[in-house]
Amino acid sequence: MANWWDRLFGRGGDADGTGKQAKSRLQFVLLHDRLAIAPEKMEAMKAEILDVIKKYIQVDTEHLDIALQRRENASLLVAEVPYLNARMETPDSDIETIGGDAAREERQKNDA
Partner 1 sequence: MTAKVVTVTSGKGGVGKTTTTANLGVALARLGKRVVLLDADIGLRNLDIVLGLENRIVYDLVDIVEGRAKVRQAMIKHKSLPELYLVPAAQTRDKTAVSPQDMVQLCNQIRPEFDFILIDCPAGIERGFRNAVAPADEVLIVTNPEVSAVRDADRIIGLLEAERKGPGRLILNRVKAEMIRRGEMLSPDDVTDILGIKIIGIVPEDDFVVPSSNSGVPVTLNEESRAGRAFHNIARRLMGEKVPFLPLEEKLGFFARLGRLFGGGGA
Which residues here bind partner 1, judged by CB under 8 A? Answer: 1-2, 4, 7-10, 12-20, 22-23, 25-27, 29-30, 33-34, 73
Nearer to partner 1, 29 or 95 (CB): 29
Sign of CA dihedral 47, 52, 54, 59: negative
In the complex with partner 1, the residue whose CB is nearer, 61 or 75, is 75
Question: Which CB, 76 or 102, lies closer to partner 1?
Answer: 76
Nearest by Cα to 69 from 35, 36, 38, 19: 35
Query: Smallest distance from the beta carbon of 27 to partner 1, in angstroms?
Result: 6
Cα separation of 24 and 2, whole Å? Answer: 21
